[in-house]
Amino acid sequence: MGTTGGRAITPESLFGSKEEKEEYQRLLNRAATSQGASTPINIKNVKVEIFDLSDKEQVEAYEKLWKELLVKASKMEVIVDSRKDLVNRSDGTSYWLKYVEYVEFGDGSDSSGSDSGKNKSEG
């Protein structure tokens, strides 16, 4: 869970309703079990990340992630949805918030080398 502008943000808070989240999950499940696909689809990872672009460390983390996602997208290993929003603070200042959601696909094996050996739990 991240915090931005003093507000806690969770993946659940990004959906407008419980039904919207359930519909998203149904679409993912249907894609993963599509009978029309010539090979089974393996969803390796579904991730949501939010970056405060007024914070230098978060900008650097965003740039690193974006580079990795572009490489994976060129290999058709990931689908990315990315948006940015201007957030207004109560003191009249504002900053840009970058929202990145992506779905990574795998080949079904547990020993995929596409993460370059990195531990994704390093938050």
What pLDDT digit, counting tens, does each position of 67-100 carry?
999 999 999 899 999 998 999 989 999 999 999 9
Q: Please answer whether residues 114 and 52 qualify as being in contact, where contact means their C-beta atoms are separated by less than 8 angstroms.
A: no
Which of the four pLDDT bands, split at 50, 70 and 90, describes residue 51? Answer: very high
C-beta neighbour count of 15 within 10 angstroms: 14
Write out the two tokens for 70. 């572009």
Mean pLDDT of the chain: 77
Domain ranges of the chain: 2-106
Element (H, E) at 89: none
Strands 78-88 and 94-106: antiparallel
- For residues 74 and 115, the model is more confident at 74
